[in-house]
Amino acid sequence: MLSRRDLPKARRIVVKVGTSTLTHGTGKLNLEQIEKLVRQLADLANQGYELLLVSSGAVGAGMGRLGLQKRPKTVPEKQACAAVGQGILMHMYEKLFAEYGQVVAQVLLTRDDLAFRKRYINAGNTLESLLRMGVIPIINENDTVAVDEIRLRFGDNDTLSAMVASLVHSDVLVLLTDIDGLYTANPRVDPSAVLIHEVAEITPEIESMAAGAGSNLGTGGMTTKLQAARISVDSGVAMVIAPGNRPNVLREIMAGDDVGTLFIPAEKPLPGYKRWLAFGSACSGRITIDQGAVAALITGGKSLLPCGIVMTEGDYQSGDMVSIIAPEGYEVARGVTHYSADQVQRIMGKQCQDIEPLLGIKGFDEVIHRDNLTVMASR
């Protein structure tokens, strides 16, 4: 099992820095903090590490330039701030990294870039090419045009950074934020809260410790960071939550020092295609199944048959991704369906031999084959 002392052996690192770390309370960029971050990253690059930076701050930077004191509430206003701020933020990174002899590239992603398999693979190939050229990719959501993302579908870049770390097969993901790590309770309201230095498994007890969003400039809270941790560990990537304003925090983490909270990666991570099914793809509908089907998927390693389906929701088509839901409401799995929502409605609860008489075609026995399905729960 990976431990702190294994971190110095890592070669590829994804670093995510949040809005609260990059900006002052006024919304304007914290130039001193950005310069310290760039210096640490450039020094790690000089040591031979491959680095990718997932940076928030575009909306906050735009707020500062536009003279706004509070984060806008409407999507168009946030997009306008992002449009103004993204250029400011990237110009700052370009200037500072150039002083240390490092070349950077801007990469803007939307959810669709990761939801469709071909675009997902192409995004990975582009990032791999940049790393081979010695370039540090600076990645952000395309807030100017992506409505879903700016409404927190990615979770203030926390989830995006984990998906990037999974995509490029990173060794370590570091989330730099305005808190020291994961606590047993919210330390801002509970003085008895204790910092957890290491998490071997993300249990319901660990999830219950997550609080809501933090500052009014950022959008992600500890909940989104735990979502990122689940993606990371299931992808075989170690993740560390650490304070972004701590001097030399990246150097300390990569030296194996006891900084922040370390999430231990799974010993048997999901393979590439299953990883995309679980985390990269977007679901077009929901299929609720009975307890027998839940057991068959989780413990039996079986495909989803029509007899186990009790309800279907959404207007999905054959070849679309759907979410498979247990009777209690939690997500059991995700998979690519052989049948449309209308066809599933007609065959659900039936036996395999009933499919052809009901649909008038010789179809598949499985609604979702095991090879195209990834289990999301272990309950």
Name the binding residues: 16, 56, 143, 157, 177-178, 219-225
Q: Where are the alpha helices (DSSP H) in the chain?
A: 19-22, 31-46, 58-66, 75-99, 111-115, 117-132, 147-148, 158-167, 204-208, 222-234, 249-254, 272-275, 291-298, 341-347, 355-359
Do residues 114 and 167 lie in contact, with contact meaning Cβ atoms separated by under 8 Å?
Answer: yes
d(CA 305, CA 366): 5
Task: Return the structure tokens found at 32.
Answer: 């001193």
Q: Is 80 exposed, middle or buried (0-12, 13-18, 19+ CB in 10 A)?
A: middle
Q: Is 199 exposed, middle or buried (0-12, 13-18, 19+ CB in 10 A)?
A: buried
Three state DSSP letters for 302-358: CCECHHHEEEEECCCCCCCEEEEECCCCCEEEEEECCCCHHHHHHHCCCCHHHHHHH
Amino acid at 239: M
Task: Return the structure tokens found at 195.
Answer: 């910092």
- For 77, 306, 308, 342, the CA distances from 361, given in Å and listed in that order, are 51, 15, 21, 14
Q: Which residues are annotated as a binding site for substrate?
A: 56, 143, 157
d(CA 286, CA 243): 38
Q: Which residues are annotated as a binding site for ATP?
A: 16, 177-178, 219-225
- For 55, 62, 84, 149, 288, the CA distances from 78, given in Å and listed in that order, are 16, 9, 10, 11, 36
Coil/strand/helix, residue 106: strand
Do residues 151 and 79 lie in contact, with contact meaning Cβ atoms separated by under 8 Å?
Answer: no
- For 128, 138, 232, 239, the CA distances from 264, given in Å and listed in that order, are 25, 25, 9, 7
Residue 295 contacts by C-beta under 8 Å, 6 or more apart in sequence? none
